[in-house]
Structures are given as C-alpha cells and as structure tokens.
Structure 1
C-alpha cells in the first residue's frame, strides 16, 4: 500500500516524520447507466440550463450563488489568494481528554506510520497519549483543504482521525425530537432490563453488510445464468406494522424473546418491529 501523504507531526519543539495510510474503505457496489436495447454505456453531457446547449470545458467557470439566481465568478487567482499554506505538517494545537469529544465530530481515520529517525519519538507520543488518556487536536492540509484532526493511540499505532469543524455540524433544534417525557417507572425498568440482557462485548467482526453481500450474490448468479434473473427461492413474508399503544406488552414480549434466546444459546435478535408505539400506556 502506498501512502497518500507524507509529512510530520509537530508539537512544541518535537517533530516526527510520518506517512499517512488509509485506515478504512467504502465497500460500495458501483453501476453504469446503459441503453436497454444494446447495453451501450450512457455518458453525461454538460448543458446550460437556459438553452439546453452543450458547454465545452474551456467555457466553464466556477461561480458561487450568493442569492437565488445570482452568482459571483471565482477565478484561479481568487482561490490562490485564500489558499491555506500546505506545510506538510500535522500541527498539534492542544491535548484534550478523549471522553470530552462528542463522537459526532469524528469523520475518517488514517494510520500514521513513522519514517526513519522518527520511530522513538513516535512511540513516545503514542505511549504518552495512552497513559494520559489524551488525544492531540491538530490542523493539517491534505489535497489543498485544511482539516481538523485528532491523533489517537490505537494498539501500537497512532491514528489520525479527520474531524468536522463545529460549524459543519447541523444542530437538531429544528427536528421533531421529544423533550423529557414521563415514560413511567415500570416501562423504564423493563427497557433497562432489556438493554442489560442484550448487552454484549464489542466485536466488530460480527457486524457485516448484509445488503451488499446479498446484492453481490445476486449479481454472481445473474452472471452464471447469462444475465438472466435466477429463480427466486422462498422468502419470508414481511409483517405489517400495527398501531399498538401498549408499550408494556411490547417490552414484555421483547424480554421474553431475549430470555428464550439466552436459554437456547442462540444470538438475541432485535425486538419485534410489528408494534408501532404511539404513546406509553
């Protein structure tokens, strides 16, 4: 694997040369648009909204819509004027406690790998972060864009996790989220009991993308059948939701399922979704 970025970690007078490697990947199935008659790929054209005419690349400029239908054009020199200097340095600004950071701020992780002469300082920073329970909050420029990031110890590695700036997060104030409600002592005790029974040790390997697996399996079968859809096997009928308002009975049914699963040794399934709760009884 080739690094996507090389530079250094810098805090106080310490500099650690590192290389940046992806720590995650998106397993998405990509599709092409085809003409149904001969499966010829369909390409997009750049057309102007006013007259529908195709526009060549040399006639296209970048514009910002500051009012509905009103644009200001930005040229290359405009972008150069506000460009953040790419110093190839991950500048740690502060060290903060990890538990103080809302997980919603974290976005995408990368592995930090030390280069020659930086191994000891790398291990020193990693161990100091682990011992203090802190993470380094830094700014870094990657591909001409400045990012907020956190440097965290992960086993023997240091991970750089790109973060959202505060003004990038949407506040839920306009969403229909219930405030404090009187859910009832019995309902709360039963819900708490259900959560406790379904609690297990975190094992990321047990969670897989069922949709992608099923889709790739279907694609493989269609390839084997010459592009034709293979015969469909038996499918389970979907349960129709019903307007049930007895929250206690829903919780009791879920607890019974959890209790039965625990005694049979089977994996506990999520509570039945056939009930649609409107209001606690």
Structure 2
C-alpha cells in the first residue's frame, strides 16, 4: 500500500492510495478522506462510486463533500471506475473499457480477466479499508450516473451490508438504455437474463430488504430521457412498495455542479442511518 497524496482538509486528511488489486489484476488508486473524528475512534464509511470517464479524482476535487464528512464524522472512500494498466483491455469511445467498468463482473473476453469491479467494490476494497482502525464496519454507498447504477445494484444485491444508499442521476435501467445495452452486452454477453442481475429496476422487484433509497435527478440533465429514465425505477419501486424518494431538481444538469449542490443533504441522509 502506497500513499501518494496527503492533504489537510476541513480538519482531516484527504489521502490518495495506490494498491495492488488481486481481484482486478492491476494497480488501483483510491481516494480516502479521514475526518478529524477518525483520530479519536472508528468512523463509519461512505463508499462513493463515480461515473463514466472518471477516476478517483473527480469526486474528491469537485464535490465539496469533505466539509460535510467532517461535520458528521464519516470516512469517504472514492475508488477509480475501472481497472487500469497497459495490459487491461480497452475500447474506442468513453462508454466501454477503461473509465467505464459499470461495477459488474465481466464474463466475456477480453474483459473477464480484469473487469471485476463488482467484487472489488463489495469485497476487496472494504476488506482493505475496514482493516484500518479508523474505520468501523458501518457502511453506506452512493454514486453518480454509472456509479449511481453501481450503488443501487450493489445495495440491492447485498441486503444487510449497507445502512443506506443514495444516488445522483443514476442509470437505473441499463437493460433499456444505450449506455447499459452496450456495456452489458460486451461484459456479460447477449443473454439479457444475465443483465438483470446488474439492473436496479429488475433487482428492486425481488429485493428482500426495504432499504430506503434517495435519488436526486436534474430536470435539465442532457441524458435524462435517453440514458437515465428514472421513471422506470420509480414505477418498479411503487409496484413492490419499496421506499424511494426521487427528487427531480429543476434547472440542474448532469455535472458536478449538481452534485456539489446536494451532496451535503446526501451525506446527512447517510449520517442519520450510519449513526442509528
């Protein structure tokens, strides 16, 4: 484990680490914010999953989340969005390959060797983070766009593992939108039944845990109608009486300006659940 950044921030420390991932078969970088409370005892952990094209840097430099994490005493963990390295498969465009891991375990070549982001986020990364005495085993998960998809599916597939879940502009029904269809077909093959295990709109229909879900979606989001379609997830939640607060925010787009505007409310949402 190598710490490659260490910066004072709101009384705590914003670090970035490089570590070897055995699951992904490559070196990975991850941002970790330690609030000032971490010096006195274990703090709960909020895992943040970023969207297409992002690295660990986007969230830690643009969201302004450290201020609120310091107020509530929460560790923020922001990993990269895909495996990296010269021997890792890639593709043309921004929506497949590096920077576009989609938080699945790929089964198809050439992706299967490295693209196992689901196992990395659910098992390997928390095992490393929670081995630190500063971290408790109380977890929450959130994310944006592709990362919102990841947060929702991971929470729904792992009942009891997370105290809370939220998302900004998530891809809620990847089986029904171009981004998801391209990625799931490449990573998982043509069988749509395999896609359903990574589709929040399908997963919520049989969820055994009624974990309340908070989603913020900008009404001026340029991807709203073609790629995000939150109404599909809303309808699925209503059909099974799954608690969902979907807030359509007038004027906001898909950017980190939107995330920065509401990240404080999301962290408060998670803090209430993590301290309960």
Q: TM-score, normalised by structure 1?
A: 0.18
Which protein has the larger Cα radius of gyration, Structure 1 or Structure 2? 1
Higher relative contact order (CA 8 A, sep 6+): 2
Which structure's residues are more often helix, by fraction?
Answer: 2
